[in-house]
Structures are given as structure tokens and as C-alpha cells.
Amino acid sequence: MAAYIIRRLWQMIPTMLGVILLVFLLFNWVGGDPAYVLAGKISNQEQIDNIRRQLGVDQPYWVQLWIFVKQVVTADFGASWSTNERVSSILATRLGPSLTVLVPLLVIETVVAIGLALAVAYVRGSLTDRAVMIACTVGLSVSILVYIIVFQYVFAYKLGWFPVQGWGNSFWENLLKYSTLPILIALVVSIAPNLRLYRTFVLDEINQDYVRTARAKGVSENRIMWVHVLRNASIPIITHLMAALPGLLLGAFLIERFFSIPGIGREVLLGVERSDFPVIKAMTVYVAFATILSNLLADLMYKAVDPRVQLK
């Protein structure tokens, strides 16, 4: 196990170097000259040259690449071009609000989707099963913008149960007051695709030989579903969850934007609007690193769920 982890961590180095090179090429060759964006429409060449010198983009490409590599290694991406705030400070202060919304959401939607998938698979082929699948299809067809507008109108404006916007300094206040409606909306949006996907995973396991053997031995249907089937269906479920885990760093863009949650997602949108390359590059690198770590974590969870899995 330890040797496998060390080997995987060692393999991250060339992968991250490839990510760094790709990000550098995209932002320097495809992204254009940020000095023209920051200088505005009314500017002269002297002002543009001065901005390029301050940003360091007047240096040779190999010098800029080396600076970028040092920024990644030291986790210091400098200051924001638009607000002059340290990028590390931006990420540190915005990560908390995003996780306050997204971690509870991830836990709730996973538990609810797995429970409903097992329940629907238990009555597979029945009228209830078909009705749930139709409801999921309808839910998938509705845009998240519609959910946001309807839920804000009904639960915030009409009923007054939740605030539309706001964010405080208390964790519990933010979790129980300001995050409740965003979490509810995101749960309604995500439950349909997750339920359909997890139901498919469960149905694939129900038709396996070990299920028929367990039934022949007289094992109860509840134990078959909640112990044997769920354990084997956990492998693709873990794959799906770990693939979505890096998205926690970016947050739900529209949710944070509509509810004025000062999270990572809203900050990335502002960075794109302002052409704030340091913020965008930092988030791109961090998401890539989180994706690599989540893949490693998924492999370790496979082994924990199914001892037959060999880590090689």
C-alpha cells in the first residue's frame, strides 16, 4: 500500500509539469496580451509598455515559464491584477463559503441518491419505478436558472423562510440560514441525474450470479440490497463521486452568483470578467492537482470497499 501511494505521488510530478506547461501556453499564446485589457480603450503605447513591465509579461517566455513554475511550487501566485489582493488570500477567504455550501450538499445528495436508487431498484419494473424515472427525466429537462428563480420567489419572497442574499461571520449562521436555500436548490437539481446513474449501477449488480446465490440460500432481500448489492455498486459510485470532488474547489457558479455567496465560484467568474490571469491560473492548477489526488483517493477507496482489488 505504502509503495503504491509513493509511486502514484511520484507519477504526479510529470503530470503536473504537463498541466503547468499547458496552462502557460494557453494563457500566454491564446489568452492575448493582458496589458491591453488592463490599460483600457483610452491608452497609449507608453502606458501599455509600463503595464507589461509591471506584470512581467515583457520578459522572454522561458523566464515567464520559470516564474510560473516557482509560483506553483511555492503556492504564491502573486497579487490579483484587478484588486491587487494576494491570490493566496483570495483563495483562503473564498474557500470557506464554498465548502460551507458544497460539502453538506455532496453528503446529502449522495446519501439521498443512493437510498432512492436502492428503493427504486427494489421495485424495478413497477409503476413506481417508471414514475420516478419520468420525474427524473422531467427534472433533467429544466434549467437550473428556473429552479433558482422559482425557489427564490416561493421560499424567499412569498413565504419568507430564507434570505435571498447575504453572508455572515458565523459558520452556523451561514450554514443554517444563508446556505439552506442554495443547498436545497442544488440538491433538487442534482438528485435526478444521480438517481438515474446510481439506479443503473444497482440494477447491473442485481442481475449478477452472487445475488441469485444469496437468494437461493434464503438471504433476505433487504440484506441483499443494502449489504451485497450496495457494496459492489459502490465501485462505480465512488468513481463518480471522486470525479466530481475537484468541483468543490470551483463551487457552483450560478448558485454563488445568484445568492451573493463570497465563494471560489463567484471569484473565478469575476476573474474571467476582469481578465485576472493570476486568479484563473491559480484555480486551474489547484483543480488539476485536486483531480490527481481524487483519483488516488478513489483507488484507495476501491481497496477499502472491495479487498479483491489489487493496487498495482
Contacts of 122 by beta carbon, 8 Å cutoff, 6+ apart: 221, 225
Local confidence band at 259 (pLDDT 50, 70, 90 cut-offs): confident
pLDDT surpasses 70 at 256: yes
Domains of the chain in start order, with CATH, are: 2-74 (no CATH), 96-274 (1.10.3720.10)
Local confidence band at 37 (pLDDT 50, 70, 90 cut-offs): low
Mean predicted confidence (pLDDT) in 8-27? 83
Q: Which of 26-30, 39-43, 75-79, 282-286 has the highest mean pLDDT?
A: 282-286
Of residues 167, 168, 162, the one with CA closest to residue 181? 162
Helix (H) or strand (E) run with residue 54 in it: helix 45-55
Residue type, 32: G
Local confidence band at 311 (pLDDT 50, 70, 90 cut-offs): low
pLDDT surpasses 60 at 41: no
With the C-alpha atoms ordered 16, 18, 21, 22, is the resulting torsion angle positive or negative? negative
Q: How far apart are CA 62 and CA 12, in angstroms?
A: 23
Mean predicted confidence (pLDDT) in 269-297? 82
Rounded to 10°, the helix 144-151/180-206 angle is 140
Rounded percentage of the chain residues whose pLDDT exceeds 90 = 0
For residue range 165-195, what is the model confidence (pLDDT) as tens digits?
Answer: 878 788 888 888 888 888 898 888 888 888 8
Query: Are 55 and 35 in contact, with CB atoms under 8 Å apart?
Result: yes
Q: What is the value of pTM for the model shown?
A: 0.78
Mean predicted confidence (pLDDT) in 79-106? 83
**Confidence at residue 251, expressed as pLDDT on a 0 to 100 scale:** 60
